[in-house]
Amino acid sequence: MSFSPSNAVRAAWDETPAGALSMSEIARAIEIAKSSSFAALGTAFLTRLPAAPVPDPYLVGVSREMAESIGFDPDAATGRDKDGFAAYFAGNPTRDWPSDALPYAAVYSGHQFGVWAGQLGDGRALTLGEVERDGTRLEVQLKGAGRTPYSRMGDGRAVLRSSIREFLCSEAMHHLGIPTTRALTVIGSDLPVRRETIETAAIVTRVAPSFVRFGHFEHFYSNDRIDDLKTLADHVIDRFCPHCRDADDPYLALLDEAVRSTAELMTQWQGVGFCHGVMNTDNMSILGLTIDYGPFGFMDGFNAHHVCNHSDTQGRYSYSRQPQVAYWNLFCLAQALVPLFGENLPEEGRAERVVEAAQKVLERFKERFAPALVAKMRAKLGLEIERDGDDKLANGLFEIMHANRADFTLTFRNLSKLSKSDASHDAPVRDLFLDRAAFDAWAAQYRERLAHEPRDDAARAAAMSRVNPKYLLRNHLAEQAIRRAGEKDFSELARLLDVLRRPYDEQPEYEAYAGLPPDWASELEVSCSS
Ligand code: AMP
Ligand code: MG
């Protein structure tokens, strides 16, 4: 069995005998602690503790591609060390952990559903350490590994159902090209976990450059711990945006980075009809990654006001509100960073000047998001050149999609089959609309617009297929994999993961995965319970 360790850990691995990568080798790679890692920030930021073991852990799924990308042999999950692999990624101790190498839970706070929630923190997540691959360092975290000092009333666990959803969606988003935390593996256990009913436990291994959230900054700000706030901001700047140091105000530059990456993330989410479901400030990544998959959903039939989280009775986090909520969350982040702004300004008038400067940076969210969304829609419509009225054309389509609850994914995917000159090829997209006349009226405008395009139909179709995915983690697909996994059959999960690795490709053998959801899917509900 072959594997290719990163340069940083090669020395350690070279001492081990040739053959399959054993769990202790993987563990050693993960635990390499670096002076500039989050773990090195110390006890003001995190608590070290062991995971709570689970009985008889078993492999549910592994992302081979993720494993390979961090230098692990994916066959370690299924080879002779498979029990060690499952035990390790369940958080069960496979050897004595020295206390300075224990995993840790980080503290943060946040606004939940628009209300200040005070201290939260990793209530069920433990970070094992970092791996390094080709100069990129990634944190490896277990979600669902037991109670921590930040668990509040929670049990520290995650159920199999929600863990499979997080695992699949993290990988699906990555392959769609949408910034996200990743997932390496899901390990299950028959340990009972009480939610609305009794379910069983699972642990997802998540991988990301950083799990720092807006809520981390809010935590230290709200506790008036400005030195810690600065330490945290310096950590993020030094690790992830060292160019911020060149700006007049590095902390304003950090806010600007968050504004930029969050605007980009919102463009991407809106572009595929992804609803996060719980856009609380503690679920917003400082790096603009999609993080904390809970009651998320990709829309089937388009409803501009779709609310994917059954517990969100006010519709605060509906599809159409996501960009606004992101802006609101960035405002909370800016507020938390205010004490760091204007370090070199004279005391006199400093407060007014930093607030004004922060507001200017926040305004850039709108300046970036609006044109980025128009550009995204132009690409989705296969429009190569820019013309006035393109946004109206896109909005017109969304209006009739909304009125007809036309399938978001299939509408855009099938639009590529439409001919510039001849309406006789419209059926694949036209048939998604009950109101055919409304579609025909829009299609006439679209054709008029296409007449100005230099590309021919084939070139336009090819370009559109690169931006309009065919395969998404629709709720019913996840549900089918979950039901089978509940019977300890993980083949559907593996197949679905495989399909979702190539969302933009035609995969004729998997045509059924691209179809409209079956009737029973409309009854699926997802809530905060996970
Ligand atoms: P979420 O909305 O799922 O991102 O969670 C909000 C907060 O509740 C975070 O601090 C989580 O760590 C915590 N939390 C959620 N579920 C649990 C659980 N079962 N046990 C402990 N903490 C939890
Ligand atoms: Mg969360």
Side chain identity, residue 12 = A
* DSSP class per residue in 323-362: HHHHHHHHHHHHHHHGGGTTTTS-STTHHHHHHHHHHHHH
Number of the ligand 1 atom closest to the C-alpha atom of 280: 2
**Ligand 1 site-directed mutation target among 216, 282, 291, 529, most atoms within 8 Å of CB:** 282
Place of tokens 């053959």: 19
**Exposure string for 89-125, b = 16+ CB within 10 A, e = fewer:** bbbbeeeebeeebbbbbbbbbbbbeeeebeebbbbbb
Q: Are 196 and 207 in contact (CB under 8 A)?
A: no
Total-model pTM: 0.94
- 282 CA to centre of ligand 2 in angstroms: 6
Residue numbers in the chain where pLDDT is lower than 50: 1-20
Distance CA 28, CA 262 (A): 34
What is the per-residue pLDDT for 2? 29
Find the helix or strand (DSSP H, E) in which 483 lies. helix 475-486
* Residue recorded with tokens 């909005």: 395
Q: Maximum distance among all alpha carbons in the chain?
A: 71
Which whole-number Å values give the CA distances from 106 to 41, 52, 132, in the listed order?
Answer: 10, 16, 21
Least distant ligand from the CA of 162: 1
Closest ligand 1 atom to residue 108 Cα is 10
Identify whether 282 is a catalytic site residue. Answer: yes
User: Is residue 526 within 8 Å of residue 475, measured between CB atoms?
Assistant: yes
162 backbone dihedrals φ, ψ, rounded to 5°: -75, -30
Query: Would you state the pLDDT for residue 133?
Result: 79
What does the H/E/C string look like for 83-118?
HHHHHHHHCCCCCCCCHHHCCEEECCEEEECCEEEE
The CA R_g of the chain, rounded to the nearest whole Å, is 24
Nearest Cα residue to 288 out of 243, 247, 236: 236
pLDDT of the residue at 525: 80
Amino acid 10: pLDDT = 31
Give the Cα separation of 377 and 187 in Å (integer): 39
pLDDT of residue 35: 73
Pocket of ligand 1 (CB under 6 A): 120-124, 150-151, 154-157, 278, 283, 292, 294
Helices (H), 121-213: 160-176
Nearest listed ligand to the Cα of residue 143: 1
Catalytic residue among 73, 81, 249, 282: 282
- Contact yes or no for 85/74 (Cβ under 8 A): no
CA distance 310 to 528: 8
pLDDT of residue 4: 31
Give residue for tokens 């590309």: 455
Distance from Cα 292 to the centre of ligand 2, integer Å: 5
